[in-house]
Amino acid sequence: MTGRAADYAGGVQRPLTTALGWRLPAWLFDYGPVAFVALEGLAAIAVGTHHHLPQAHPWELGLALILILTALSIRHRHPLGTLALTLAVAVISGYGPLVMLPVLISLFTLAEYRARKLALTGGGATVLALIAMHALHGDQLGLAPLLSLSVAVALPVAAGLYVHTRAEYVEGLTERAARLERERELLADQAVAEERVRIARELHDVVAHNVSLMVVQAQALAATGEDPGGHAALGIVADLGREALSEMHRMLGLLRLGDHAEGEAERAPAPGVRDLAKLVARACEAGLQTELVVDGEVRELPAGVDLSAYRIVQEALTNVIRHAHASHAEVRLTYRPEAIEVDVHDDGSGNGNGSGSPGGEGPGAGGVEGHGLVGMRERVALFGGRFSAGPVAGGPGFRVSASLPLG
């Protein structure tokens, strides 16, 4: 048992339902034709034994009908065997009204489930078997009846082959869509992982710098202090600081991607909101008229928040320049007592961050996935803040908003 017949035995949807998109119950396709053949066969037996075949015994035709119905009930699992059995019954009984419909259904099922070569071979064998049936029972076929018989056999074969081909096409599209969805999810997961590594490296530089200063100052105080107790305590602080630095370096080693090109950048001072003016100036040089607006009382920010605010603006402006076809953008930095808020708004096509959906989850002008939005969202989530991105309601453009808590 191979091919589609084996698939159906395992519970896979029938080619007919796949090709036509029907969602009717499976039992209707399985046993509906069998029930119809049973009714048609009983009627043919009743008519035949009284008018066309007075010499035939009803029990003989009844036995033939039982064999046909049994074969049709397993036609999906054994299409070739079903056709062989129905043809054998046809040749033996010689009663066309009883056997023609089952033969045509068997032919359709064979073409539906099996390869084209086997289906065409089955069609040729059916024509020969039906010719033999007429010859054995004393019927002479002329040219016109022979052509009619050939056409009757060709129709179910052609219909079955169409269903077979169409089902393979639909299944191919479904598998391709599923594969693309899996790839999209993998790309999104990869973008999240890469951004987390990048954030970890940047925060490592910030924290390592501060801890290093603490160690140096503790050592200096321990060297100049006169209190023995304080000297010991400061020595412990210095030792703990050095241990913390060692652990951070070890953990960062597990996260590194092996990109040597970023080595120099990691040793450079971490940027912050103080560098936004330069960032805006570079955006203007790239052809995007950009304005920086600062609201609230400017004050020193925690190093991680400072770096993340800069990176969010940097990524947002980069995506506007690449994807939005915008002429103007506004960067607004708002200092709140408990948070720093970042807002980047452009007047472009609404795809300013490479995403076609408000949440930045779908494909758009920027490619398969809005990876820039993924990175910004991860940065904000790191500090437990709020993030939103999407086309501006009621107007042109795209807006990215982030709120980073200070505490």
- Inform me whether the pLDDT recorded for 224 exceeds 50: yes
Position 242 scores a pLDDT of 72
Q: Residue 342 pairs with which residues in a beta bridge?
A: 333, 402
Architecture of the domain delimited by 271-405: 2-Layer Sandwich (3.30)
Q: For 333-358, how does the pLDDT look when each residue is reduced to its tens digit (9 = 90+)?
A: 999 999 999 999 999 876 554 443 33
The reported pTM is: 0.47
SS3 386: strand
- Inform me whether the pLDDT recorded for 370 exceeds 70: no
d(CA 14, CA 30): 10
pLDDT top residue among 257 and 171 = 171
- Inform me whether the pLDDT recorded for 185 exceeds 70: yes
Instruction: State mean pLDDT over 323-338.
Output: 90
Average pLDDT value over all residues in the chain: 78
d(CA 130, CA 349): 68
3-class DSSP string for 270-292: CCCHHHHHHHHHHHHHCCCEEEE
Determine contact, residues 61/93, Cβ cutoff 8 Å: yes
Instruction: State mean pLDDT over 4-18.
Output: 57
d(CA 328, CA 293): 14
- Inform me whether the pLDDT recorded for 65 exceeds 70: yes
